[in-house]
Amino acid sequence: MNENEHPIGFGDNVKVRTTPVTEEKGLAGLLGQVYGETTPSITEVEVIGTLSEDYAINVHIEARDDAFWFSRDQLEFVDYGPGTEIVVNNIKSVRRDDGRWEESVIKTAKRRWWK
C-alpha cells in the first residue's frame, strides 16, 4: 500500500479499480462494502488480483448481489460506510463518518418462559 492510500477495513465502502482482471470479470468501477478479510494461504479462497501479501479483502457488491475476494491493490477507499449498523446480542454498533463505531445497548422486552 502506498503512503497516499487509505487503509481499507471492515465496513468501509470501496470502489473496484479498473484493471484488466476486474474488467474481465465485469467488476471494474463497481461499488461495494467490505465484509471481511482472510489469509488466502489458509482459507484457499479465489482472489481477484495478484497477491503481494497473504491477505485478501471480501467485498459485497450489491449490484451483483454477491461477494468477491480481492487483493488490496484492486480496491480504492470511498468512505467509512457511515450509518452501517451491526447488532450482536443486545449491542448495536453504528458506523460514524469518521470511521468510529458508536455502541449502544438495545433494551429488549422480557419474555415470560411460558410465552
Domain map (residue ranges) of the chain: 13-79, 81-115
Q: How far apart are CA 4 and CA 45, in angstroms?
A: 28
Q: Which of 79, 78, 75, 90 is nearest to 18 (CA)?
A: 75
The pLDDT tens digits of the residues spanning 9-47 come to: 999 999 999 999 999 999 999 999 999 999 999 999 999
Question: What's the predicted TM-score (pTM) here?
Answer: 0.84
Proportion of the chain above pLDDT 90, given as a percent: 83
Per-residue pLDDT tens digits for 47-97: 999 999 999 999 999 999 999 999 999 999 999 999 999 999 999 999 999
Mean pLDDT, rounded, of the chain: 92
